[in-house]
Amino acid sequence: MPEESGRRERKKQQTRQTLIATAARLFEEHGYEATGVAAIAEAADVSKRTFFLHFPTKEDVLLSDGRARLDLALRVIEDRAPGAPLREVLAASLAAMIDDTAARDLPSGMAALRARLIAESPAVQARVLHTAFAGQARIADALVDAYPDVLDRTSAAAVLGALVGAVSAAAIASLSAGDGQAETADAMRRAAAIALGALDTLDPPA
């Protein structure tokens, strides 16, 4: 599969990457609120309109890789072994996301920048929460499809809410405490383990 790799697509991706890198740099230098979209576009040498062609809001330039991580989690659920227990699949799905975060997001420094900007700007905070919540709902739907006998929609939402809430709260707490990458990844894994305990209520382990 050629995967859309013509010159046009490459240039589009390059514009996108330039915008992300430029925005990150400017946020780093002057803070989030003080950096306007017009300034980002100017520094990336594109029009303001082009920025919004790539990102629906100013905040989204910080969340570009979230969708990939969501697809990862959904694929783990879809490709589960037949008869695999809910708890196991959920743990694997979550682990895939955390591992990806540890492998890509944390080392790039993007996660740390994002954590700082979350603390600084309510707008960023709100958008991150909203994005996480939307992703969480999609995973919950996938789980209901996969385990219609074990989970109804509301329970699935509750379980996913607990997992995502625990992991993201732990990640933010750890990053704002100044922890390093390894400690943060570890905090996320511990939070996942704590929250997975909640599943025993629905689906007791042997």
Candidate residues 23, 110, 127, 147; the one interacting with its own copies per rule CB under 8 A: 127
Token pair listed for 202? 């629905």
Smallest gap from residue 129 Cβ to DNA (A): 15
Question: Applying CB under 7 A, which of residues 1, 7, 82, 201 lies at the interface with DNA?
Answer: 7
Contacting range for DNA; rule: CB under 7 A; set: 29-37, 63-71, 90-98, 161-169: 29-37
Q: For residue 83, how many other CB atoms are within 10 A of its CB?
A: 5
If the CB atoms of residues 52 and 133 are measured against its own copies, the closer one turns out to be: 133
Centroid of chain to Cα 108? 14
Q: Which of 22, 24, 27, 54 binds DNA (CB under 7 A)?
A: 54
Q: Which 8-state DSSP code applies to residue 206? A: -
Footprint of its own copies on residues 177-196 (CB under 8 A)?
177, 187, 190-191, 193-196
Site for DNA in 55-114 (CB under 7 A): 56-59
Residues from 82 through 121 that contact its own copies (CB under 8 A): none
Is the Cβ–Cβ distance between 157 and 165 less than 8 Å?
A: no
**Of these, 25, 28, 43, 46, which contacts DNA (CB under 7 A)?**
46
Per DSSP, 31 falls in state: -
The Cα 191–Cα 185 span in angstroms is 10
> What is 57-100 written as a DSSP string?
SSGGGG-TTHHHHHHHHHHHHHTPPTT--HHHHHHHHHHHHHHH
Q: Specify the residue, 17 or 154, whose C-beta has the smaller distance to DNA.
A: 17
Measured CA to CA, the distance from residue 117 to residue 133 in angstroms comes to: 19
Interface contacts to its own copies, rule CB under 8 A: 122, 125-127, 129-130, 133, 136-137, 140, 153-170, 172-174, 177, 187, 190-191, 193-202
